[in-house]
Amino acid sequence: MVLLVALAATGLLWAGFAPRGTAQDTADANEAVRQGRVLYLQGCSSCHGLQAQGGNQAPSLIGVGSAAVDFQVSTGRMPLAAPGAQAERKDPIYSQTQIDQLAAYIDSLGGGPKKPVITQTEWDDADLAHGGELYRANCAQCHQAVGAGAPLTYGKYAPDLGKATPTQIIEAMRTGPESMPLFGPGQLDEADAVAVAKYVRHVSEAPSAGGDDLGKYGPVPEGLLAWLVGIGGLLAVCLWIGARQKV
Ligand code: HEC
Ligand code: HEC
């Protein structure tokens, strides 16, 4: 009798408190993972291994998170075309839906930084001046003062940031691709990361008030132009005056 009551009570409690996940949600999430796995096996497993365990050609993808997959595939770095010093930015070959599916599959293998979501309010509220300070302190030594990019050692380079979207900028900070250091939430929190992204977009898009920006490379090309055109012009005038006096 006691056993029966206990069993009935457990049953009732379970019916009352059992998690009621909608069948629809789970089916969608599983579907994305399943589709992602198919895409993964076709496009990525030859280098990253059948179980994403990595191999002698490429690192393991277990635990890299959806942010890393979205960054690498949406910037066209992956699938890697040819081995080289560094994977280059190219036009992506997968659609955003396919990228989300690939990310869902890799995410299902183990955690890691999630693909960031930036709301319009977060973007509008981001402090551009503070973003600029953080950028100059953390990023400018490699990507140059206005994000035009610069060479590093052994054929590697910090790329021009002009094409990176706000999401990709935050993903790069959170995942630290190749020789770029990782900037975790302990170092740059959510608001800081959005502010840096806003600053990077701002310097890439702001019009150049002083005329042609010469690739925004700063004093070296500007000085070179001043020497060649300015001093060169003066020399030409001197030569012309000298030539006239002989006559
Ligand atoms: C030709 C071999 C090759 C193929 C194909 C390839 N990768 Fe990679 N992948 C690499 C190498 C090598 C690296 C490490 C160097 C780098 O980060 O650029 C890498 C790095 C990555 C990273 C970064 C890992 C980290 O620790 O942050 C991700 C994510 C990734 N690949 C995803 C993919 C996905 C998704 C595909 C399929 C669409 C793919 N790769 C196809 C060779 C490959
Ligand atoms: C030590 C040098 C270094 C520092 C410091 C650095 N980066 Fe990078 N960054 C790199 C390198 C190298 C790459 C290319 C990685 C690759 O191709 O996988 C890169 C790539 C990127 C990209 C991808 C660009 C594209 O078009 O695909 C973004 C965005 C980026 N960095 C933003 C930042 C931000 C923001 C900071 C500061 C918080 C920063 N980086 C600090 C070296 C650096």
Residue 128's CATH number? 1.10.760.10
Residue 243 belongs to a domain:
no
Tell me what the pLDDT averaged over the chain comes to: 89
Phi, psi of 179 (to 5 degrees): -80, 5
Q: Which of 171, 180, 188 to mutate to test the pocket of ligand 2 (most atoms within 8 A of CB)?
A: 180
Taking the CA of residue 82 as reference, the ligand 1 atom at the shortest distance is 1
Measure the CA–CA gap between 151 and 168, rounded to whole angstroms. 21
Q: Are residues 98 and 177 in the same domain?
A: no
The structure's pTM equals 0.83
**Burial of residue 54 (number of CB atoms within 10 Å: 0-12, 13-18, 19+):** middle
Q: What is the pLDDT of residue 217?
A: 75
> For the chain, how many structural domains are there in total?
2
pLDDT tens track for 179-208: 999 999 999 999 999 999 999 999 988 888
Instruction: Choose one of 95, 114, 133: the last residue of a domain.
Output: 114
Phi/psi zone of residue 149: left (φ > 0), alpha (ψ -120 to 50 degrees), beta? left
Q: Is the pLDDT of residue 21 over 60?
A: no
Structure confidence by residue, pLDDT tens digits, 121-178: 999 999 999 999 999 999 999 998 888 888 898 889 999 999 999 999 999 999 999 9
pLDDT exceeds 50 at position 23: no
The yes-or-no verdict on residue 20 having pLDDT over 70 is: no
Is the pLDDT at 42 greater than 80, yes or no?
Answer: yes
Would you say 215 and 162 are in contact if contact means Cβ atoms under 8 Å apart?
no
Percent of the chain with pLDDT strictly greater than 90: 66
Domain membership flag for residue 246: no
What residues flank ligand 1, with Cβ below 6 Å? 43-44, 46-48, 57-59, 61, 64, 68-69, 72-73, 77-80, 87, 102, 175, 177-178
Check residue 112 and give left, alpha or beta (phi > 0: left; psi -120 to 50: alpha). left
> Residue 9 half-sphere exposure, CB side, CA atoms within 13 Å?
6
Q: Which ligand is nearest to the CA of 70?
A: 1
In this prediction, residue 92 carries a pLDDT of 94
Could you identify the residue written with the tokens 């629809």? 24
Q: What is the largest CA-CA distance in the chain?
A: 130
**Per-residue confidence band for 209, with pLDDT thresholds at 50, 70 and 90:** confident
Strand bridging mode 157-158 / 150-151: antiparallel
**In a domain? residue 134:** yes
- What are 217-222's contacts with CB under 8 Å, separation 24+? 217/144, 217/148, 218/144, 218/145
Residue 102 CA, closest ligand 1 atom number: 35
More confident site: 207 or 78 = 78
Ligand 1 pocket: which of 35, 48, 71 to mutate (most atoms <8 Å of CB)? 48
Domain assignment present for residue 247? The answer is no
Q: What is the pLDDT of residue 231?
A: 93
- Indicate if 121 and 228 belong to the same structural domain: yes
Question: What distances in angstroms separate CA 25 from CA 81, 103, 185, one per listed residue?
Answer: 36, 17, 29
Write the residue with the smallest CA distance to atom 25 of ligand 2: 164
Structural domain range at position 42 = 28-114
pLDDT tens digits, residue range 124-138? 999 999 999 999 999
Atom of ligand 2 minimally distant from the CA of 200:
35
> At which of 82, 114, 146 does a domain end?
114
Q: Kindly report the CA angle at 96 between 94 and 97, in degrees rounded to 5?
A: 95
